[in-house]
Amino acid sequence: MDLDNFKRIANDNCRTQIEIENMMRNALNKKKPEFADIALEALNKKYPGWDDQSTRRGGSKPTTANFMDDKRSFPSGKSAYIWMVEKFINKFPELFSEINWETIFVSKGVKRLYFARSPEKVFFSSPHLAKDTNNFTRLKNGWYANLNLSNDQKFEILCRIAAVKKFKFDIDWGWLVLP
């Protein structure tokens, strides 16, 4: 691969931080520092602070959520997600009262459910997860929500709910801001 093609790929807007980091590591492993420099430049341009070790720690990430005219800040993505789900339930209660294709589209994952009437049903293929209350919460409508999810998965679920109801929302996870 030539340098121009590598640069085009590294600067492609579809490339994630992890993909570009892998490109840089691969270039270094193959003793091609000029390619690694291009990847490093793309990382610094697209993901400022990507190599700051203090941002790589685990734990809660402050999150801002906006539902219609109600904007709130939360200490974690988990609490923002719960708040947003509750807001959707208040606005569209039929999603959880009328079991149909919409409910299944919103609530079913591959090996777990995102929402169910009991923790055991949420974690049907991993029943040991239902024993840890950190993995789920009981919603005001009596259903249980799976919290053993990445922010990407939480975002996908919120998008599913919004898509079913053709509803717009925005949320700032600290890594993604929606208009």
Q: What is the DSSP string of 82-133?
A: HHHHHHHHHH-THHHHS-SHHHHHHHB-SSSBSEESSHHHHTTT-GGGGG-G
Amino acid 98: pLDDT: 66
- Give the DSSP letter of residue 143: -
* Residue 175 scores a pLDDT above 50: no
Amino acid 177: pLDDT: 41
| Residue recorded with tokens 């009262």 | 97
Task: Report how far Cα 82 is from the mean position of its chain's Cα atoms.
Answer: 13
- Neighbour order of strands in the sheet with 70-74: 70-74, 63-67, 170-172
Amino acid 131: pLDDT: 92
Nearest to 44 by CA among 23, 17, 83, 14: 17
Amino acid 176: pLDDT: 40
Amino acid 27: pLDDT: 87
* Residue 129 scores a pLDDT above 50: yes
Domain boundaries, the chain: 3-56, 63-172
* Residue 99 scores a pLDDT above 80: no
Pick the CATH number of 63-172 from 3.30.479.30, 3.30.450.20, 1.20.1250.20, 1.20.1380.10: 1.20.1380.10
